[in-house]
Structure 1
Amino acid sequence: MKPWLLFIALLPGLAVGAKYPLTDEDLKTYSRTGCLLVEGVFSEDEISPIKELALQMLQYGYQIREESHNTERAEIRLDRNGSQFVYDTNTLVIKRIVWACGMHPEFRTLGADKKLKNMVFRVLQTHHAHHLINQLHPKMPNDGVEFKFHRDIENRRNFDKGWAGENMHNGGFVQTLTALEAMDEWNGAIEVYPGSHNDSTPLKNRPETQDIIAGELQQQYPPEFVRMQPGDVLLCHPNLAHRSLPNQSNNSRLLFINGFAAQGAHQPEVKYPGDDSGYLLKISE
């Protein structure tokens, strides 16, 4: 067994108990830990058609990958029909599909569903937010896809040099991760470090090994992995330290990720990939 597999097998699961709609205690938990798992937000009837569309997009993505060209970058990006397909340069495995709603508006419908908007409103305490992220993150059995330690704030700063969310409520940004399939410690678990959102020290592109970074984080923030069932939603603070490990199982794992920036945090002139990405959305009722 690989050392990191043994390590994650020993981790506790992320504390569960939150239900929709969020309570004041849930919001206190989020503010304290930087993450919150909300069970059963969406029903099977709501998730199933989105999962089918996701599988269709994956199939299409693998059909067009031969159109990619060699590059010295770690990733290859192909823009098609308002969405962007991102591949590993070496393996041509799909790592993510950016702005999935560009190709299929149904992803925008679920990504801006009233339940998600309500949770985002409660977390950010703002009436309007820019919808920056609408992505599919697949992990097929043994495809090797992993995302190393990072804080999402690093991505926001990379895209938007004028990012102004740091002094806003809960960092001015929140990600909602909706499970389209079950996720556990073997098929691509997300490993989170609750409490690490109180720090914003960059973690990407550090020269140390992942094990060394993990050891440093564990000294202050006991890690937990996230188990999810279809329809569950994980809320993440932009400063939360986390990573996701490769899928070592025989089961696929599909996550649907949306990201929302409080009005004023994101500079509207900064364009994210995808048609109409970053549009302003009213999130309060």
Structure 2
Amino acid sequence: MGLFECQFDPKGFEVTPEILDNYNKLGYVVIRGLFDSEDLENIKKVVEGSDALVKHAYTRGTISDHPATLALWNQPGNDVTGMVARCEKVVGISEKLLGGEVYHYHSKLIMKNANTGGKHIWHQDYGYWYQYGCLKPDMLTMFIAYDKCTKENGCLEILVGSHQYGRVDHLMISGQQGADPKRVGHIAKHTESQFVELNPGDALFFHCNVLHQSQPNTSPNRRWALISAYNRASNSPVIESAHPQYTPLEKVPDSCVKECKNYTDMSGKAFFKPTSNNLFQPINTK
């Protein structure tokens, strides 16, 4: 089976019943060309043209000398990456897939540099978010390829349809929280593994209970990705934790991704600052 994918049409794109049915069955959909070269060029002015965002990056995990490097923020903000998270096409697709109003749960820039980084073991996003007070898995992640993502440079690998097996307990494994390997092994016998290779601007939307991992980037090609997570408004966390409770999301036109000139003002993004106490655990739980 190949990837379930569709092509974005800027003149008019809809989440059709077929797309929704496959998302519910498979747990994901790839949308090719969600962001075009002009979008990516403007995003680049934030990600690489200034240190305003990347200076907030930190290193996580100790897997096989290949730690993961990322910057994470809880509010979208008003810079170009904030326009990405708030634009109508992204929010609209997320609302169709989740079946109702959504809000921005958090975003991050994952930096897998050439020949160095960063292995992520099998996990579910809801494996963490459940601990953060989200009672239902009415959540998804949008993964945007900033660089070309290939098997060689550590693209995502997913277990297709694994969201149908529910939440798996997560354990601390060599410095990362990962899904119980025994349970993953059983699920893998009943699902298909699929490498999600993407071109810059392609996006993967996937259910929060989809099991996924990625290998270290041992290739000479960098693999950076921009990720935003969304939660149903009706699923606001019941405790204060590492990520925000329901906050109304102000949508912006898709054109704002190209037109925004804010490359350095990161005020209001609420960058996550890891400590030994909060790196893997909720903050201020009640």
1:186 to 152, 158, 181: 152
Structure 1 residues 185 and 164, CA gap change in structure 2 (3 angstroms): same
Map of 1:78 onto structure 2: none
1:136 to 99, 102, 109: 109
Amino acid at match of 1:147: H
Map of 2:92 onto structure 1: 118
1:196-275 equivalences in 2 (<5 Å): 196-202=162-168, 204-205=170-171, 215-267=185-237, 270-272=240-242
User: C-alpha distance in 1, partners of 2:29/2:48?
Assistant: 27
User: C-alpha distance in 1, partners of 2:24/2:113?
Assistant: 33
Report the structure, 1 or 2, having the larger helix content.
1
SS in 2 for 1:198: helix
1:219-278 deviations in whole A, cap 9, x for unaligned?
A: 1001000011111110110111111111121111111110111012123762436xx886
Equivalent pairs counted in the alignment come to: 243
Structure 1 residues 143 and 13, CA gap change in structure 2 (3 angstroms): farther
1:280 Cα deviation (Å)? 1.9
SS in 2 for 1:280: coil
1:55-70 equivalences in 2 (<5 Å): 55-56=48-49, 61=54
Map of 1:14 onto structure 2: 3
Map of 2:271 onto structure 1: none
1:16 Cα deviation (Å)? 2.9
Structure 1 residues 197 and 259, CA gap change in structure 2 (3 angstroms): same
Structure 1 residues 92 and 242, CA gap change in structure 2 (3 angstroms): closer
SS in 2 for 1:126: coil
User: C-alpha distance in 1, partners of 2:165/2:251?
Assistant: 27
Contact 1:149 1:203 (C-alpha < 8 Å) held by counterparts: no
User: C-alpha distance in 2, partners of 1:183/1:222?
Assistant: 20
Runs of 5+ unmatched residues, structure 1: 1-11, 65-83, 166-170
Amino acid at match of 2:29: L
Cα RMSD (Å) = 3.3
1:15 Cα deviation (Å)? 3.3
Structure 1 residues 92 and 102, CA gap change in structure 2 (3 angstroms): farther
User: C-alpha distance in 2, partners of 1:194/1:210?
Assistant: 18
1:113 Cα deviation (Å)? 1.1
Structure 1 residues 146 and 36, CA gap change in structure 2 (3 angstroms): same
Contact 1:121 1:283 (C-alpha < 8 Å) held by counterparts: no
Map of 2:249 onto structure 1: 281
Map of 2:135 onto structure 1: 164
SS in 2 for 1:281: coil
Structure 1 residues 93 and 56, CA gap change in structure 2 (3 angstroms): farther
User: C-alpha distance in 2, partners of 1:209/1:102?
Assistant: 28
1:33 to 26, 35, 40: 26
SS in 2 for 1:261: strand
1:178-216 deviations in whole A, cap 9, x for unaligned?
A: 111110101111000111101124253277999866643
1:40-119 equivalences in 2 (<5 Å): 40-56=33-49, 61=54, 84-88=56-60, 95-99=69-73, 105-119=79-93
Runs of 5+ unmatched residues, structure 2: 254-286
Contact 1:13 1:226 (C-alpha < 8 Å) held by counterparts: no
Map of 2:120 onto structure 1: 147
Amino acid at match of 2:171: N
TM-score by length of 2: 0.73
